[in-house]
A and B are shown apart, each in its own frame.
Chain A
Amino acid sequence: MSDCILCGAQAQQGSDVKSGADVIELDGVAYSYGGGELLSDMSLAITPGAFYFLTGPSGAGKTTFLKMCYAALKPTSGALKLFGQDVRTMERNDIALVRRRIGVVHQDCQFIDHLSVADNIALPLSVSGQDNWDDTTNLKELLAWVGLSHRANALPPELSGGERQRAALARAIIMSPDIVLADEPTGNVDWEMSERLLRLLLELNRMGKTVVIASHDLSLIRSAKSQVQARVLRIANKRLQLAGANL
C-alpha cells in the first residue's frame, strides 16, 4: 500500500497533536459500574507512533479500557486526556471531532447493514463533511489494500468474518487517524486471516500511526513482537501492568 492512500484525508484533517505530546494520557484513571470498580488506578501515556498490545483474561476490562480511549466511557475518577483534551470537560461535539482522529475496529465490526461495503468504508468522510471523497481519497486503493476490491458492492451481512474485520479496518483508517484502536480484531478469524490483519496493522504503524490492539491471542502477540517493537500491557486485578518478556 502506498502512503498516499492516507495522505489526502490527513492533509485535510490536519493534526493538533503537539510534537512529542501523548496521543492518550491516563493518570490514576478508574472506572466503576454498578457500584463495583472494574478498572483501578491506571496511568499510561500512549505516545505517537507506538504499537501496544493490551492483553488480559476475558472480562478483565480490555474493552472498557478501549472504550475510555475513544470517550465512549468516561472515567469515574482520575484524568484521561485524548490529544491533550480532558475527556471530563469535553462537550458531545468535541467528542465527535476527537473520534474522527481515532480509528476503531470493534470485535463485532459494527456496520450499517443496508449500505454497501464501499459506502460503509467511506462513511467517515461523509460524516466529516468531505462529500467529494471520491475525488480526494482513493477508495479503490484502500479496498485493494485490505483485499476487498471484489466485495466493494456487497452488503456487510454477506461478508465472512475476516472480510468484515478488514472492512472495519479500512473504515477505521480512511480518515487517516492518529491512532487505531482494535478490539480483538482476530477474535473471529482463522490463523491465516489473523496474520493478514496483523500485517495490515503493522504496516499502518510503519506509516507512523499509533496502534493499540486488545487481544488475548498470545501467539498473535508473539508474532507481532518479532516484527515490531511492541509494548505489551496487561490488565490484571483491575490494574494496568507492563507485561514481562515471558509472553
Chain B
Amino acid sequence: MSALFSTLAALFVGDLQRDRVVPASGYTSTLTSLTAAAMAFLVVFALALSLASYRLAQDWSKALEQSATLRISAPVEQLDAQVARAIEILETTPGVASARALSSEEQSDLLTPWLGVDVPFDKLPLPRLIEIVQTPDGFDPQGLRLRLTGELPSAVLDDHVRWRRPLVQAANWLSVLGVVAIGLIGLTSGAMIILAARAALAANAQVITVLRLIGATDAYIEAAFVRRFAFRTFIGAVVGTVIGAGVVALFPGEEEQAAILTGLRLSGVEWMWLVLIPPILSSIAFSATRYAANRLLKGLT
C-alpha cells in the first residue's frame, strides 16, 4: 500500500531527471498514443450511442405512457354520432385528461407514409381515431373497455402497452450495450497498454538494471515508466476524443429528425462526459503499466 502511495506521489510530483531515464522515443510510445487515440475515438461513439439510446427510451416512454388511442369502426352515417358518444364517455372517465378526435387530414398524414400520396383517403371507409391524453395517475383500461363494450361495441382501446414496452426495452438494452462496449474498450485498452509497457520494459532492461544497481527503489522505476505511459495515453486520448467529438458533432441532432440516427449527436451537458475520457484512459494506463512493471521488477534482483 505504501508503495502505491509513493508511486502516486511520484507520479504527480514529477521529477525531470527520473522522467528522462526512460527514452522518449520508440515504437512502444507511438503504439501507446495510437492505441489511446483509437480507443478514445471508439469510446466517444459508444458513449454517444448509449446516451442516444437512453434518451430515446426516455422519450418513447414519456411520450407514449401518457397517451392512448380509441378506434371507432362504424357505418359512415353513424360514425360521427359514435365518435361524439365516445368522447362523452372519455370525458367522464377518471384518469382521462382530454380526448380529441383526429381530423381527416391528421389521419391521412398518418397513413400517407404507408399507402402513398395518391390514395383518396376521403373516399375510403376508414375508422376514426380518438387521441386520449391521460392524467399522471392514468385511467383503468379494463374498466374503460368494459364500459365501451356496453355502449360502443365497435370501439377498440389501444393503450400502446403492447408495442411500447418492447421498444423501450430495446432502447434500454441498446443503452446498456453502449456501456458494456465502453467497459470492453477500457479492458482492451488496459490489455494493449500492458503489452506495450512490457515491450517497453523489455526494451529498457539495461535502464532498469542500472537503476537497480545504483539503489533505485521499485517505486522510483515504476514511476518513471508509469508517468511516461500515462502521459502518452493522455495525449493520445485527448486527440482521439477531439476527433471523435468532431465526428459526432456532424451527426444530425434530435431536432433534425434524421431517421434512425436521430439524436446521436450529444447535447448540452452530455458533452461534458467526453472530458472524462482522457483522464479515465490515463488511469487505466497508470494501473496497467504499474501492473506490468511490478511483475517484471519482482523477478529482478
A and B: bona fide binding partners: yes
Q: Does B214 contact A (CB under 8 A)?
A: yes
Count of residues in A whose CB is under 8 Å from the partner chain: 30
Query: For A96, what are the chain B residues with a Cβ–Cβ distance below 8 Å?
Result: 212, 215-218
Pairwise interchain contact A93-B218, C-beta atoms closer than 8 A: yes
Kindly state the separation between the CA atoms of A99 and B215 in the bound complex, as whole angstroms: 5
Query: For B207, what are the chain A residues with a Cβ–Cβ distance below 8 Å?
Result: 112
- Closest-by-CB residue of B relative to A123 is B214
Q: Does A141 contact B (CB under 8 A)?
A: no
Query: For A119, what are the chain B residues with a Cβ–Cβ distance below 8 Å?
Result: 17, 20
Pairwise interchain contact A71-B215, C-beta atoms closer than 8 A: no
Pairwise interchain contact A110-B215, C-beta atoms closer than 8 A: no
- Closest-by-CB residue of A relative to B10 is A129
Query: For A92, what are the chain B residues with a Cβ–Cβ distance below 8 Å?
Result: 217-218, 297-298
- Closest-by-CB residue of A relative to B207 is A112
Contact residue among B23, B213, B297, B301 (Cβ-Cβ distance under 8 Å from A106): B213
Pairwise interchain contact A126-B18, C-beta atoms closer than 8 A: yes
Query: For B234, what are the chain A residues with a Cβ–Cβ distance below 8 Å?
Result: none
Q: Does B269 contact A (CB under 8 A)?
A: no
- Closest-by-CB residue of B relative to A120 is B210
Q: Does A218 contact B (CB under 8 A)?
A: no
Contact residue among B17, B23, B218, B301 (Cβ-Cβ distance under 8 Å from A126): B17
Pairwise interchain contact A131-B17, C-beta atoms closer than 8 A: yes
| Interface range on chain B (Cβ under 8 Å from partner) | 20 to 34
Pairwise interchain contact A123-B218, C-beta atoms closer than 8 A: no
- Closest-by-CB residue of B relative to A122 is B17
Q: Does B15 contact A (CB under 8 A)?
A: yes
- Closest-by-CB residue of A relative to B204 is A112
The residues in A between 101 and 128 inclusive whose CB is less than 8 angstroms from any CB of B are: 104, 106, 110-115, 119, 122-124, 126-128
Query: For A115, what are the chain B residues with a Cβ–Cβ distance below 8 Å?
Result: 20-21
Contact residue among A72, A73, A98, A127 (Cβ-Cβ distance under 8 Å from B211): A127
Report A's interface with B, CB cutoff 8 A. Answer: 70-74, 92-93, 96-100, 104, 106, 110-115, 119, 122-124, 126-128, 131, 171, 175
11 contacting pairs across A/B (C-beta < 8 A): A92-B218, A93-B3, A96-B216, A99-B212, A99-B213, A110-B206, A122-B17, A126-B18, A127-B214, A127-B220, A128-B215
Q: Besides A96-B217, A126-B18, A127-B217, 15 other CB < 8 A contacts?
A: A92-B217, A96-B212, A96-B215, A96-B218, A97-B217, A112-B21, A112-B206, A112-B207, A113-B206, A122-B17, A124-B214, A126-B15, A126-B17, A127-B220, A131-B15
Counting from the closest, the 9 A-B pairs by CB-CB distance are A100-B215, A126-B17, A99-B215, A127-B216, A124-B214, A96-B217, A72-B301, A114-B23, A96-B215
